[in-house]
Amino acid sequence: MAEVKTYNVAIVGATGAVGQKILQILEDKDFPIRELKLLSSKRSAGITIPFKDKTITVEEAVPDSFAGVDIALFSAGGSVSEKLAPEAVKHGAVVIDNTSAYRMDENVPLVVPEVNKSDISRHQGIIANPNCSTIQMVAALKPIKDKYGLNRVIVSTYQAVSGAGNEANNELAEQSQQHLNKEVMTASLLPVKGDKKHYPIAFNALPQIDMFQDNGYTFEEMKMINETKKIMHTPDLSVAATCVRLPFFTSHAESIYLEVEDEGLTVADLWNVLGDAEGIILEDDPQTQTYPTPLSAANKEAVFVGRVRKDLDNDKGFHMWVVSDNLMKGAALNTVQIAQALIENEKL
């Protein structure tokens, strides 16, 4: 029997929504861990967290935390990654970063393993995990692009509040109860924690995720546009996005219009390519009202696709509805899958 190589793993942001999911997935997948270090801000240090048959005490993340660490999974916000990821790399760790800090850095691979696993090999210490809404979209687009070409993408998103962290889940629950009690809803977090105004999300829809940029798009929309081109190696692909926060806890859904290069394709052609694709589950049968929803996709690993239709005016145009758990494939699972691919490729 071959010896299983094991690794020292650190999770930065271990007490957050994504950090907790990463822990669960590392345990479920029996990731080959020798030693696991749980790191957080000073505020959360000292908390104990169960992992397998042990209890691990969370430590404050400081530069020396990374001594001896092989793989550091960062999910504690962009400023923490900017400060500490280079320190982890100096200590010899490979960083897989779940924030937007390094995603568009040309020296940093931005990876969805099903889509561009080979990009991992050119890492220089940091590999970036894409934005949640981008991951599920490229997972569904890539097999179509590879077989039939892709000219254009227009996406409107339906995004869960958990993308804004555990606090946002609490805000949605509290506001929902207030509204059901016929009380005034109090808003102090969404749409964006650091922004000037806050609006209720319960029984509402907020067409703002992350801060507005000078061009009138939000940062979330620009992430989807720019990251999609980088991950699929399609700098000239037309991509447009409108990102909307909605009152559900888990999973992002996306209404995607796409134009392929080939002519004369049918819905069955797209079903075939999506049905064979890694990480995709087709749930698409109008006859039986079969389509994915945020609730049906919650806590699952796959990217679910339904409502595939041919555009009624454009022979090259198709519409589809793509749903995935934003904390699983959209964040924690993809992070762990990058780590697994790193190990497989013996790039550690």
Residues with a known catalytic role: 132, 252
Residue 48 interacts with a copy of itself (CB under 8 A): yes or no? no
Residue 309 interacts with a copy of itself (CB under 8 A): yes or no? yes
Q: How far apart are CA 309 and CA 287, in angstroms?
A: 14
Q: How many CA atoms lie within 13 A of 103 on its CB side?
A: 27
Residue 319 interacts with a copy of itself (CB under 8 A): yes or no? yes
Residue 317 interacts with a copy of itself (CB under 8 A): yes or no? yes
User: Token pair of 244, please?
Assistant: 């909307």
Residue 304 interacts with a copy of itself (CB under 8 A): yes or no? no
x-marked contacts with a copy of itself along 271-290 as a string, rule CB under 8 A:
---------------xxxx-
Choosing from 176, 219, 301, 340, the residue that interacts with a copy of itself (CB under 8 A) is 176
Q: How many CA atoms lie within 13 A of 139 on its CB side?
A: 30
Query: For a copy of itself, which stretch binds (CB under 8 A), given 56-64, 98-106, 174-182, 269-277?
Result: 174-182
Instruction: Name residue 301's beta-bridge partners.
Output: none
- CB 258 within 8 Å of CB 321: no
Residues 6+ apart with CB under 8 A from 39: 10, 11, 12, 13, 14, 58, 59, 60, 61, 65, 76
Q: How far apart are CA 73 and CA 316, in angstroms?
A: 40
Map the footprint of a copy of itself across residues 216-275, applying CB under 8 A: 216-217, 225, 238-240, 242, 244, 246-249, 253, 255, 257, 267
Q: Least distance to a copy of itself from the beta carbon of 101, Å?
A: 23
Would the annotation count 245 as a binding residue?
yes
Residue 305 interacts with a copy of itself (CB under 8 A): yes or no? no
Residue count, binding to a copy of itself (CB under 8 A): 58
- CB 291 within 8 Å of CB 319: no
Residues 6+ apart with CB under 8 A from 246: 158, 159, 160, 161, 201, 205, 206
Residues at the binding site for substrate are 159, 245
Residues that bind a copy of itself (CB under 8 A): 152, 154, 156, 158, 173, 176-177, 180, 191, 195-197, 199-200, 203-208, 212, 215-217, 225, 238-240, 242, 244, 246-249, 253, 255, 257, 267, 286-289, 291, 293-295, 306-314, 317, 319, 321
